[in-house]
Structure 1
Amino acid sequence: MIMRTVIVDRYGPPEVARIAEVPMPEPGPGQIRVRVGATIVGAADAVMRAGSPRYARIASGFRRPRHAVPGGDFAGVVDALGEGARWFAVGDRVHGTLAPASGGNAEYLVIAEDAAVVPTPAGLDDAGAAAVVDGFLTATPFLRDLGRVGPGDEVLVVGAAGAVGSSAVQVAKALGARVTAVTSTPNLDLVRALGADLVIDRTAGPAQATAKADLVARGVSGYDVVFDAVGGWSFGTARPLLGPRGAYLTTVPSLGVLALAVPTKLLRRRRTAIAFTGLRSAAAKRADLELLGRLVAEGRIREVVDRVLPLERVADAHRRVDGGHKAGAVVLVTARVEATAR
């Protein structure tokens, strides 16, 4: 049996991502095979395709991509069981992630049944079910575990319309925080609809000054967490906005953040920190996916989809991610469909 898959076997522009036909994988002991309905092209996939910044090649391979099939997050239907697999049945709808491994940008994949895979929440189609995975599994450990966000905290989200940022707004609200969101003009209404208490248009003036004016007007000493979902700020930019024990958290591992993370933590005052959420255990991710299902059922988390493209337009998906203006997730579907945008 043959299936279509995305192949990236050299570093370069979006065009290096191509479609190939390869043998369909067979599930081994304790594994399930999923017929993929939808999968994601995210920022990490674009970095691994481009091989830039160069330090990313420590993980992806120095001369060429170590794993030719990209993509971590997926949603689909279980269509075969390996020997001893008993948690799922053929026909079950599931979603999850292969990260830190890859292989999701394909028509079929195999995954251990005790990996980060859970039943798909009712009410989500495959595109929506795939879209919520990456952002939620990134934003939740950053805000809940690293930032220790709780009721009444002040949280500023930079890049609030992206896949991670849109999840961060919703996660912070679910944790009881008051959320200020920074985004661009086309996405203001979207971010308000996600629950942000204040939305700052980064294209209309200095977002930092607007955020500071809001804090002063409300008599708040500073933000408990500034969560930079896109790496657009720095600790120096965020520091004047932080409360006495506030934290600047970023998803982008710059040399400055890596150098300051330990010293600022030891000082027990304003600090900066980063987490490599893809490296968490499968059990931790599965527990958060189960939490995600409950929050979706309660209407507290919803998917944000920038556009849906057929698998064969994977290069266009990478161009969209490279452009830096997407709102939510860029989804690839294996069915042959017309492209749709948010």
Structure 2
Amino acid sequence: MKAHVLRRYGSPDALELTELPCPVPGPGEVLVRVRATSVQPFDWHLMRGEPRLARLMPGGPGLFRPSLPVLGADIAGVVEEAGPGVSEARPGDEVYAMSGQGGFGEYAAVKVADLAPKPAALSFEEAAAVPMAAQTALLALRDDGGLRAGQHVLVNGASGGVGTFAVQLAKAFGGIVTGVCSPANVDLVRSLGADEVVDYTKEDFTRLGRRFDLVVDIAGSRRGSAYRRVLRPGGIHVQVGGRGSRWSQPMGRMFATMAAAPFLPHRVAITTGPWKETRRNLMTLTGHIEAGELRPVIDRRYAFDDIPAAVRYQEEGHARGKVVVTVAP
């Protein structure tokens, strides 16, 4: 099979399109013919091995060389073969998955615990835009934020991959939603259901003079202490990622936020990634998609051979929603 292989850390030029043996599904896995994948910060952080502090941590990207040779965390495709003991999926099933790796290849071995039936209403490209970003938004709002109907929620970074899903899910949960974004994305965020949109070039959202029950900070553009000005007593600040750096960010910002938490009048939580109960989460997202409450926003589409260009564009940080790649027609 063809795959974009990462043998060394570096820029998108480090991705080498080459031939690899087709994966063999093990117990609890299926072999998926990848039809589409998406590109996100998770992929290019692994590509560059950044933040470098993460290389020292268990389960990190690898100290000297990449631990995952084929990136691409999001997958949508067709089951080709089921491994031993698998009854949840059969050859021919259309699925989508958050596998953590393999989407930059024509085939991937995926754990059945990490996949679910593809929503019938979505194309493969649309389905590939959902898993990691939408799950992250789901966990930030439902699990870490405990959002309830009627509560006021602010989403900082409302026009990106996670943010566009967060706005829609917050509305689906009955929240009263304020989105923060650049002026170019105001109409987009409003079209996703936001009750109010703040252009951060014109207003400082931490000085609006209003209080929120929940702030989901995806952009990471403010210190954690700034949220005392916008959160009600007992409100929750959920940090999701943030701007990266070569050595420590966004990890350093997350550590600083948690270190300050005991001295703040509001609660603090960090959403680090959708690594548990992926199948259940995907089924929940499917329910929202089928109910017409959730749709992926796709900025650009790329061909399989152009994955380095797709990564380069996503790494610039200006994508509206998701960047997707068609692996096979």
Same fold (TM over 0.5): yes
Which residue in the other structure is 2:70 paired with?
Answer: 69
Aligned-residue Cα RMSD (Å) equals 1.8
Secondary structure of 1:279's aligned partner: coil
Q: Identity percentage over the alignment?
A: 37
Secondary structure of 2:300's aligned partner: strand
Which residue in the other structure is 1:240 paired with?
Answer: 229
For residues 182 and 45 of structure 1, what CA distance do their matches in structure 2 show? 25
Aligned length: 318
Which amino acid in structure 2 is aligned with residue 178 of structure 1? I
For residues 254 and 35 of structure 1, what CA distance do their matches in structure 2 show? 34
Structure 1-normalised TM-score? 0.88
For residues 66 and 163 of structure 1, what CA distance do their matches in structure 2 show? 25
1:267-326 superposed Cα distances (whole Å, 9 cap, x missing partner):
68313221222332xxx2211111111111100011111111112111111111111100
Which amino acid in structure 2 is aligned with residue 269 of structure 1? P
For residues 55 and 94 of structure 1, what CA distance do their matches in structure 2 show? 35
Runs of at least 4 residues off by over 6 Å: none
Which residue in the other structure is 2:247 paired with?
Answer: none
Shift of 1:23: 1.0
Structure 1 runs not aligned, ≥5 long = 216-221, 337-342
Secondary structure of 2:130's aligned partner: helix
1:318 aligns with 2:317: no
CA contact (8 A) 2:99 2:111 kept: no
Which amino acid in structure 1 is aligned with residue 306 of structure 2? R
Which residue in the other structure is 1:224 paired with?
Answer: 213
CA contact (8 A) 1:261 1:271 kept: no
Which residue in the other structure is 2:163 paired with?
Answer: 165
1:173-211 superposed Cα distances (whole Å, 9 cap, x missing partner):
1111111001112211111111100011123343433xx
CA contact (8 A) 1:11 1:51 kept: yes
Which residue in the other structure is 1:81 paired with?
Answer: 82
Which residue in the other structure is 2:104 paired with?
Answer: 105
Structure 2 runs not aligned, ≥5 long = 242-249
CA contact (8 A) 1:38 1:333 kept: yes
Which residue in the other structure is 1:297 paired with?
Answer: 290
Counting only pairs closer than 5 Å after superposition, residues 82-231 of structure 1 correspond to structure 2 as: 82-99=83-100, 102-113=101-112, 115-209=113-207, 212-213=208-209, 215=210, 222-231=211-220
1:188-244 superposed Cα distances (whole Å, 9 cap, x missing partner):
1111111100011123343433xx14x2xxxxxx11111111322221232211111
Structure 2-normalised TM-score? 0.91
Which residue in the other structure is 2:269 paired with?
Answer: 273
Shift of 1:256: 4.3
For residues 231 and 18 of structure 1, what CA distance do their matches in structure 2 show? 32
Shift of 1:260: 4.0
Counting only pairs closer than 5 Å after superposition, residues 34-45 of structure 1 correspond to structure 2 as: 34-45=32-43
CA contact (8 A) 1:305 1:331 kept: yes
Equivalent of 2:299 in 282, 299, 306: 306
For residues 264 and 217 of structure 2, what CA distance do their matches in structure 1 show? 20
